[in-house]
Amino acid sequence: MGAERLRRAPDSLSRIVGDDLYLTGPDRPDFDVLTGSATAIWRALEEGPTLEELVGAMARTHDTRPPAIEAEVSRFVDELRTRGWIVVGP
């Protein structure tokens, strides 16, 4: 992914209910629920960060070093992309 920007898919709809964040879209019969760090990642995607910037932000939030969480954040980003919740581009 490198320096490509990670952005929420334009048709994704989200709503926070309690501690959970629900994701759906206008033509989707399903939804996903994000909790904890996943919600923090979703919020950070509003700014269109690169993967490196996202990992750095999450590391600061959790008071850890980026290499300690890079693989986990990358896997989650890949999952969001596969599910159609984010788009990747310049």
Amino acid residing at 73:
V
> CA-to-CA distance for 77 and 86, rounded, in angstroms?
8
- pLDDT per position as a tens digit, 22-39: 999 998 999 999 999 999
pTM of the model: 0.89
Q: Which fold has domain 7-85?
A: Arc Repressor Mutant, subunit A (1.10.10)
Residue 1 scores a pLDDT above 80: no
- The pair of three-digit structure tokens given for residue 32, joined into one six-digit string: 């996903």
55, 71 Cβ separation under 8 angstroms: no
- pLDDT per position as a tens digit, 54-82: 999 999 999 999 999 999 999 999 999 99
- The pair of three-digit structure tokens given for residue 52, joined into one six-digit string: 């490196």
Unique residue bearing structure tokens 């999952």: 79
